[in-house]
Structure 1
Amino acid sequence: MFERRNIQCMLGVLGVVLTLEPFAFGAPRKVHAVALGTPKKVAYSKTGDPAGALPGEEALKIRPLVIDGAVKEWTTGEAHDVTERSFVVRRALRVNDELPGEKLGTTGAHWVWQRGPWLLVDRTAGHVTALKLPDYDPGVSQVVWFRDYGAYCGITASGKSLYAVVAQLALRKPVLAKRLGKFDPESRGNPEPACGVTEWQRDPLRVLFRPAGREPAAFDVLPGSAMLVEDSDEQSAASPAAGKSED
């Protein structure tokens, strides 16, 4: 009789444990499938993208950003892995070019492609965040990434000054902002970009800018730890990042 009661008691405790197990350990985390799809070329021109297109550019190579089997964004250019779970890539925008009251006969003729802002993609959480880089200009700023730093030539809000900028993800203010000289808005139509390709150096941490018509300028960057916070699904849902696109 005593052994029978012990067995019944043990079975009761086991039943309680099995009942409470989902609450104790939580629901299993959803695994997201994130990938960049096959690239394709679309019609592109200075007329459709006055700020971003180069003179004579006629095609733009784009790729879909696919999350859990659905196309969330269109992207262009190469992606850069920031961490094992997060990467940045530039967005491609399809913009309505139809004037008020205008009805174009050709299907799709009123849609144009433009180079857009940079996106931060979290593979684990399946989240996409539009980055707001300081003094970023889509027609001038050619971002070169290293670790979680982005280096580029930026334009001030007045549009009159060209700056050497180094931005770090998750920080609002740039870690480097040095004036390179005046900026002529009329130069946007020139075949030569306002700045050449920026170069990074690891040790010591240094970045070299090549503004057009000026001597190259090198600046040391004070090295620091990455500031990017990669939240779980639950944390991200509780405190969504500013500028996050729909997912």
Structure 2
Amino acid sequence: MPYLFAPPQQAVIPVQDERYEFFPVRRVYCAARNYSAHAAEVARPGEVVEAPFFFMKPSDAVVPVADGETVRIAAPEDPEARLEYEVELVACLSKGGRNLTEEEAEACIWGWCVGIDFTRRDRQREMSAKGRPWEVAKATDRSAPVSHLRPAYRTPMPAPADIYLYKNNEKVQSGRTDQMMVSPAGLIVELSRTWELQPGDIVFTGTPSGVGPVKKGDVLLAGVNGVGTLRVEIV
């Protein structure tokens, strides 16, 4: 098939311990406010904390980070900008469908990785106040770095696991995956009621409390026990 120009490079996530195996990313779904403590810390005054909801990032926002490596993410040029970290467990699907049951949703999960949802909190607050979508806050370039992909048969879920993030060697986020308001399979069920999920879809499942800003020179280490770690330097 002739193209007017070269197609964009496929976003991929490396599979743990497999040098030549990669997971091709189709869509990036994200659950907002799936940990009650985080929902409370980002809610506007008087806002009622409700069930989690969803937004998307473009697949080319995904930045894979190999074991032992550090990815560099640029700080915003605007001195008034507020870029914040959100560590998340990410479910990666090898199957899909519509109107899935929870059992079917669990069977769709091929593996897990650790992700950081980088968020322009200043823009998010502005858009929320105006009732506008979040893309300018959430769907920016390189806003979704992820670790290697760990196959689900090595790390069955939803077994409780510690989820954490260190900034400059200080623990700033700490929680457990069983503190989610809706389980990963439950999120997949909800997504399948609106979209037909496909192989290659990934789901950021929410972040615990403790989100905060980054600046040039900061080094982040994010992790989920039993899944992996992810290291980022802000430049």
TM-score, normalised via structure 1 length = 0.24
Larger RCO (alpha carbons 8 Å, 6+ apart)? 2
Question: Per residue, is there more helix in 1 or in 2?
Answer: 2
Q: Name the larger-Rg structure.
A: 1
